[in-house]
Each structure stands twice: as C-alpha cells, then as structure tokens.
C-alpha cells in the first residue's frame, strides 16, 4: 500500500467521526495544499485536496499548489491533538487558505463515543469518553503548568531567562535608540548639505 493511500484512509476514518470538520473541509474543495513534513533536506511531500467526504492525498501534483505548509513531523502530529506554537509551521502561498486549513486541523473533534457505543453500549461508551476527556484535560493542564514552572525556574532561580517585563523594556529601549540614530543620521546629512 502506498503511503499516500494509507494516510488518506487513516485520516478520512477519523474525519468521518467529525461531521463539522468535513463541512469545513468542503468549503476548501478544489484547492490544493502542499504539506512538507520533515526538515528541508529530508521532507516527505504530500499534496492534499479537501473535499466534502475528506481529504485526497497524493505524492505527485502536476500544477502549482495554492499553499504550502512546512514543518517537522511532530509538529503536524501535535497540530490536531494539542495545537502548536507560533512559528513551528511555515505557511507560504495563499496564507489565508493555509491558516484556515491549519485551524480546521486544530479543531478536529471526532466523536469516538458513537462507534464505541456499538461495541460496549451507550452507558459504558459515555463513561469511557468522560474518563478519556478528563485524562486529556489533566494532561494538557499538567503540560501547561510544567511549562509555566520551567519558565519561572529559568527566570527566577537560574536567571537564564529574563522576565518578560525586562525583555519588553529592552526592546523599547532598542526602538528608542534606533529612532535616535535615524534622527541623528538625518541631522548629520542636513549639516553636510548646509556646508556645501
């Protein structure tokens, strides 16, 4: 089985559990999105075409894509699960289309309970779903707190990171210095013209 066929089937199985995402993808029908997964030297390139019933995935596309999204494979993996930080994904071409597609991926919320209910029953599926949602929320909250604690430790205990307030003060001072230097350069140019 070709990788694009495997990716297409796996993604579309998940998308069938989220009708709202399918509706949003239908709005992008006819557009082609190039995904460069990996580093600049070793990237897997896939061309994705959204449709009302999911995504069409190809390795080769004859035309020019409407937009290109480039990032490491873990970035794309986190995109649909927890979201990503600014700058982790580069978008070139039709930025609006790329941003819309990125938001659609970030907002995927498949209804796992429905197919699970067919196997274990409605009540058990609901309880399992509730436990999973709590575990995911706890994991996200723990990751957020850990990141905050790490930043605080690096700022307060080790002094390896400057507090945000100091960084902002420094940037304002650099902007003022840049403006002063520009004004001084203009003044020098005026004085030189006046001496001639």
Q: Quote the CA–CA distance of 80 and 104 in Å, as a whole number.
A: 9
Length of the chain: 196
Predicted pLDDT of residue 30: 92
The CATH number of the domain holding residue 55 is: 3.30.1050.10
List, for residues 71-119, the tens digit of each pLDDT value: 887 777 777 666 666 677 888 899 999 889 988 888 887 776 776 677 7
Q: Are residues 60 and 34 in the same domain?
A: yes
Q: Quote the CA–CA distance of 170 and 184 in Å, as a whole number.
A: 21
Q: Are residues 18 and 35 in the same domain?
A: yes
User: What totals of helices (H) and strands (E) does the chain contain, helices first?
Assistant: 7, 5
**pLDDT (tens digit, 0 to 9) for every residue of the chain, 196 residues total?**
577 788 888 888 888 888 899 999 999 999 999 998 887 667 788 999 999 999 999 999 999 999 999 888 777 777 766 666 667 788 889 999 988 998 888 888 777 677 667 777 878 777 877 777 687 667 667 767 877 777 777 777 777 778 778 878 888 898 899 899 989 999 898 888 887 7
What number of other Cβ atoms are within 10 A of residue 131's Cβ?
10
Q: Are residues 127 and 195 in the same domain?
A: no
Tally of structural domains, the chain: 3
pTM over 0.75: no
Both structure tokens of 99: 């941003």
CA distances in angstroms from 189 to 126, 176, 195, listed in the order given: 75, 20, 10
Q: Are residues 12 and 100 in the same domain?
A: yes
Q: Are residues 22 and 98 in the same domain?
A: yes
Q: Are residues 19 and 46 in the same domain?
A: yes
Q: Are residues 139 and 182 in the same domain?
A: no
Predicted pLDDT of residue 29: 94
Q: Are residues 78 and 125 in the same domain?
A: no
Residue 174 neighbours by CB under 8 Å, 6+ apart: none
Q: Could you tell me the residue range of the domain that residue 7 belongs to?
A: 3-106
Predicted pLDDT of residue 58: 92
Q: Are residues 27 and 59 in the same domain?
A: yes
Report the candidate in 3, 102, 88 with the shortest Cα–Cα distance to residue 50.
102
């Amino acid at each position: 089985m070709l990788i694009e066929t495997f990716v297409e089937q796996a993604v579309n199985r998940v998308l069938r559990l989220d009708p709202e995402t399918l509706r949003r993808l239908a709005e992008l029908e006819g557009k082609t999105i190039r995904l460069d997964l990996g580093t600049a030297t070793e990237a897997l390139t896939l061309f994705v075409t959204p449709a009302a019933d999911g995504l069409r995935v190809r390795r080769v596309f004859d035309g020019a894509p409407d937009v290109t999204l480039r990032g490491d494979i873990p970035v794309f993996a986190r995109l649909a699960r927890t979201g990503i930080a600014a700058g982790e994904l580069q978008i070139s071409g039709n930025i609006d289309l790329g941003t819309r597609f990125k938001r659609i991926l970030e907002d995927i919320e498949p209804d796992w309970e429905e197919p699970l209910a067919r196997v274990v029953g409605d009540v058990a599926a609901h309880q399992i779903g509730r436990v999973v949602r709590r575990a995911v929320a706890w994991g996200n909250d723990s990751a957020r707190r850990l990141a905050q604690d790490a930043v605080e430790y690096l700022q307060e205990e080790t002094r390896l990171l400057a507090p945000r307030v100091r960084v902002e003060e420094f940037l304002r001072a650099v902007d003022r210095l840049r403006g002063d230097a520009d004004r001084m350069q203009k003044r020098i140019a005026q004085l030189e013209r006046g001496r001639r």
